[in-house]
Amino acid sequence: MKTRHLTAWRAAVCRAATVAAAAAMAWTPATAQDAPSPTLARIQARASVRVCIWPDYYGITYRNPRNQQLTGLDIDLSAELAKDLKVRLDYVETSFPKLINDLKTERCDVAMFAVGVLPQRKEQLSFTQPYLQSDIYGVTTVANQLVRQWSDIDKAGVLVAVQAGTFMEPVMREHLKQARMVVVQPPATREQELESGRVDVFMTDYPYSRRLLDNADWARLVSPTQPFFVLPYAYATRQGDPQWVGVLDEFVARIKRDGRLKAAARRHGLSDIVVN
């Protein structure tokens, strides 16, 4: 039963991503410019674009705890968006559980932190065409004896952590039949739970997995032996302003054409997951 549910959920995600890309690509530069955008009008009036980021997203929008500096692919690309719009860039910190509400209440104009195009998000938000995509990966410790390979994850006695609000939560809830899922709520983190021994493995995507692999010699990546759940990532904004979605989608198309997306991905070790 869970397998059928997961298959149906996969199909829904694929349909949502296809519709998001097609709808966004339907907006031409002329269309976006000819019709007034209330969001763009507010941005121009205040001379700044407010960008929602999750500052714990390594490689994407990450605040280094040592110097508080923000780094990552979408830190670079949000600066490019502000430059193209000829306005100031203001960051608004959010998280995946708070994302939808923060966009709906206009705390920010756009979310730029590799937001997965999920069916439940598509019901409430508008998306650009995808610019990245990632499968799900496991991260465990070098010393862990329970999880040595992908097939070990869903076994009795294994504790599997997912971050609350991420797309791994509904996917793993459907997938796991024997292991027990542990939902990690902020301010706790998956890596803290793993290093402390409270869980055996945590599920994440390609960018976030680099955080531990680049900085912790006790961490080990557990990759799926075949594609497990590849999800497209896009920029998200509130519904009801298709002209603003058109402006954002033109930006994504432009950074794909002129090489800015590939250059940013190369700088942050994410070339393998770029969507051209």
Nearest-angstrom CA–CA distance, 247 and 263: 21
Candidates 3.40.50.300, 3.20.20.70, 3.30.450.40, 3.40.190.10; correct CATH number of 2-131+232-273? 3.40.190.10
The pLDDT of 198-208, averaged and rounded, is 95
Topology of the domain comprising 136-222: D-Maltodextrin-Binding Protein; domain 2 (3.40.190)
Over 70: is that where the pLDDT of 69 sits?
yes
Residue 26 pLDDT greater than 50, yes or no: no
- For the stretch 83-110, pLDDT in tens is 999 999 999 999 999 999 999 999 999 9
pTM: 0.81
Domain borders along the chain are 2-131+232-273, 136-222
Report how far residue 194's alpha carbon sits from residue 260's, in angstroms, rounded to the nearest whole number: 36
Whether 81 shows a pLDDT value over 90: the answer reads yes
- Two tokens, residue 154: 């869903």
Task: Note the pLDDT of residue 28.
Answer: 41
Query: CA-based Rg of the chain, rounded to a whole angstrom?
Result: 19
Tell me the mean pLDDT in the region 114-125: 96
- Token match 């966004």: residue? 24
Confidence class of residue 231 from pLDDT cuts 50, 70 and 90? very high
Q: Which of 207, 160, 195, 257 is nearest to 59 (CA)?
A: 207
Residue type, 30: A
Would you say residue 247 has pLDDT above 60? yes
| For range 117-143, the mean pLDDT | 97
Q: What is the pLDDT of residue 11?
A: 52
pLDDT given at position 35? 66
Fold match, 2-131+232-273 / 136-222: yes
Indicate the range of 11-20, 65-74, 134-143, 262-271 predicted with least confidence.
11-20
Instruction: At 130, list the tokens.
Output: 């995808």
| pLDDT given at position 256 | 99
Tell me which of 2 and 175 has the higher pLDDT.
175
The sheet that has 56-57: what strands, in order across it? 56-57, 61-63, 70-71
* pLDDT above 90 as % of the chain: 82
Mean pLDDT of the chain: 90
DSSP state of 47: T
CA distances for 94 relative to 54, 89, 99, 225, angstroms:
5, 16, 6, 33
Higher-pLDDT residue of 26, 242:
242
Distance of alpha carbon 237 from alpha carbon 255, whole angstroms: 18
Smallest CA-to-CA distance from 237 within 23, 1, 6, 9 is with: 23
pLDDT at res. 212? 79
pLDDT at position 34 over 90: no
Greatest mean pLDDT among 11-20, 28-37, 119-128, 186-195: 119-128
Whether pLDDT at 124 is above 90: yes
Average pLDDT over residues 6-34: 47
